[in-house]
Structure 1
């Protein structure tokens, strides 16, 4: 039985919506999601661009969510270890876990936008090594014992991290998109898989292949000792019926893709060893035209019946543990987001087999 939460990835420019307006609306939405019994609220980390730039600190945002909610889990999706010292990341994440009464899910990612790496002075070719070293360091710091590290990226002696998290430890998730090594590493280290589906339906088979790779590697290493965990993020818009849903969602989705294409255009044409295939993804993004949500896109859009069918198909295909629905795409206002999410809760989820509106503790 899959859980259902919300995923937030701001794609607003100041001339379209102010940061104050965006934060006000999504904090209200997160509080409503909590009232409706949804499982998670997830926020990303990005910089310098309308693609995610309104949330440079997901842990700060989730602290505000924690103060307004009682049970919904708080997920970073993803915080970027390459841009943070592990002592800072471990302590700040633990602080959010304490403030929320033990509701943090720490999702971590390697980042993938060249301009962010350039600005922070971090070589993209070090991405994987920095990510692995930082994740492993955070895990050790959370034990509460003195920890020493000596890596090319950071070093310290007998560091004891405060405060200790409430959970022992908070669940860890790792973002992965298309690098097989990332999926295998997450599986070997018993870290949950957190991924987004590419916007074009033609790229969906790669998603299915990578999820299968993760599950197979997890089974090979861990057997049945611990279960694999898969969290999937997709844009969602539930309308009153199919016709109104596509009419209302198309403009928002077009704006979302325009912002995404603008961000990904910073990718160079040459390949990067730590990001195999990303230069091809960037070229596809630059050259693709409009996406027909009915036939070409992976966003889940439609009336309640159509959306329920799409969710069942995704569940059957990928065996998803947590759906994290991206409900803020295209700079939607609160009324649009709340209407869509309310129809998901009231008209879609009850159609799904074995749906339980009460969140299951992680």
Structure 2
């Protein structure tokens, strides 16, 4: 197939750390998987930003993890999925992205999002009610800064006078900025600005993803941008393959159950403390969906846990229906699949699924 029509494959890391798991070992395993991923032909790696909850994630700084990965690799693109822009000063994010871009030889992909976890905002002293406005303003400021040209900026939350980013990024005009879009408002924002999007399958079943792609395409068109190309749509998705479906289920059923339990036990108290009504409603709806979800529901709708051949068929359908150009595989969804089994799944995926695209 031509490179225009081919799918690119990335690796996603939430880095949850269950009781009995060792944080140091989790980081080591992640670095080893990223290095192996590059050798196997994966194109990119995308860790998350998450705060104050070891059970869910021990990755408060995706850039730090990416710097360690950058030092051990030479081709792997280094993406964030995602940095919650309202929680940080946009100029600090721009500086770190530029520095990593220079150190890595121009490999940074900057995935940004609004964030909506009330405990993150409360813990870092940022108002959740301001998150939408902060995201919009932060995007403008960050994009200006990343060009490396001198500029001034006057916003509601940030001011800058005669600032020049140092170093300037290696990529020209700057590393590609992607927006995580899990709702109408962020899809429309991405469309208005002509930015590529990262969609998440594990919280949005296929019918909703179809709607999202339509909203995104309409918003791009309304703002005078060309229709989305494959490279404008990345899909983050739980994936696991093994020789037989029974082997897949044996490893993934407990890990998915662990994830669903985690979502319910860790997010219910967060939702109850949420003071922003619109966010509370959104969180509550997500929790309700997750509570009704079973392992079987994930397969094909919100993730792909299957044999390589079935995985090829399901990915082909997703590519056709959603127009995605990159699938960011979450190979340890739930976080309790043993490291050796994750590596085996990645190897099988690389040898039997990737060549089909």
Normalised by the length of structure 1, the TM-score is 0.89
Partner of 2:213: 211
2:72 equivalent to 1:68: yes
Counterpart of 2:154?
150
Q: 1:247 maps to what in 2?
A: 250
Matched-pair contact (CA < 8 Å) for 1:239–1:245? yes
Determine if contact 2:114/2:132 at 8 Å carries over to the other structure: yes
Per-residue deviation at 1:221?
2.9
Aligned partners of 1:194 and 1:51: how far apart in 2? 24
Larger deviation: 215-224 or 51-60? 215-224
Give 1 or 2: higher helix fraction: 2
- Say if 1:308 and 1:73 are closer, same or farther in 2 by CA, change over 3 A: same
CA contact (8 A) 1:125 1:272 kept: no
Q: Is contact 1:11-1:329 (8 Å) kept?
A: no
Residue deviations 1:325-355, cap 9 Å, x none? Answer: 00122222320110111110111222x2xx2
Greater relative CO, 1 or 2 (CA 8 Å, sep 6+): 1
Q: 3-state SS of the aligned residue for 2:148? A: coil
Q: 1:2 aligns with which of 2, 7, 12?
A: 7
Deviation at 1:57, TM superposition (A): 0.4
What is the aligned partner in structure 2 of residue 11 from structure 1? 16
Contact 2:63 2:96 in 1 (8 A): yes
CA contact (8 A) 1:9 1:51 kept: no
Superposed displacement of residue 164, structure 1: 0.4
Q: Counterpart in 1 of 2:347?
A: 342
Cα offset for 1:296?
8.4
Give the stretch that moved more between structures: 48-57 or 132-141: 48-57
Larger mean Cα displacement after TM superposition, 220-229 or 310-319: 220-229
Distance 1:36 1:131, change over 3 A: same
The aligned runs of 1:130-141 (5 Å cut-off) are 130-141=134-145
Partner of 2:28: 24
What CA deviation, in whole Å up to 9, does each residue of 1:15-56 have, x standing for no partner?
331111011001000001111121110000001113553110
**Are 1:261 and 2:264 counterparts?**
yes
Q: 1:166, 1:2 → 2: CA distance?
A: 25
Q: Which moved more, 1:100-109 or 1:149-158?
A: 149-158
Deviations 1:298-322 (A, max 9, x none): 2201111111111112112111110
Q: Distance in 2 between matches of 1:52 and 1:143?
A: 35
Cα separation, 1, equivalents of 2:213 and 2:317: 15
Closer/same/farther in 2, CA of residues 210 and 21 from structure 1, 3 Å limit:
same
Q: Which residue of 1 aligns with 2:126?
A: 122
Q: Is the 8 Å Cα contact of residues 236 and 301 (structure 1) preserved in structure 2?
A: yes
Shift of 1:109: 0.8
Aligned match of 1:323 = 327
Q: Is 1:48–2:52 an aligned residue pair?
A: yes
CA contact (8 A) 2:129 2:276 kept: no
Mark the runs of 5 or more structure 2 residues left unpaired by the alignment.
1-5
Distance 1:270 1:292, change over 3 A: farther
| Separation (CA, whole Å) in 1 of partners of 2:318 and 2:218 | 18
Pairwise CA distance, 1:252: 1.2
CA drift at 1:323: 0.2
In structure 2, the residue matched to 1:359 is none
The one of 231, 234, 248 equivalent to 1:231 is 234
Answer with 16-25 or 190-199: which moved more.
190-199
Question: What is the rounded CA distance, in whole Å, between the counterparts of 2:16 and 2:300 in structure 1?
Answer: 21
Question: What residue in structure 2 maps to residue 59 of structure 1?
Answer: 63
- Which runs of structure 2 are paired with 1:184-223 in the superposition (5 Å)? 184-199=188-203, 203-223=205-225
Distance 1:68 1:170, change over 3 A: same
What's the C-alpha RMSD, in Å, of the aligned pairs?
A: 2.2
Q: SS of the residue aligned with 1:292?
A: helix
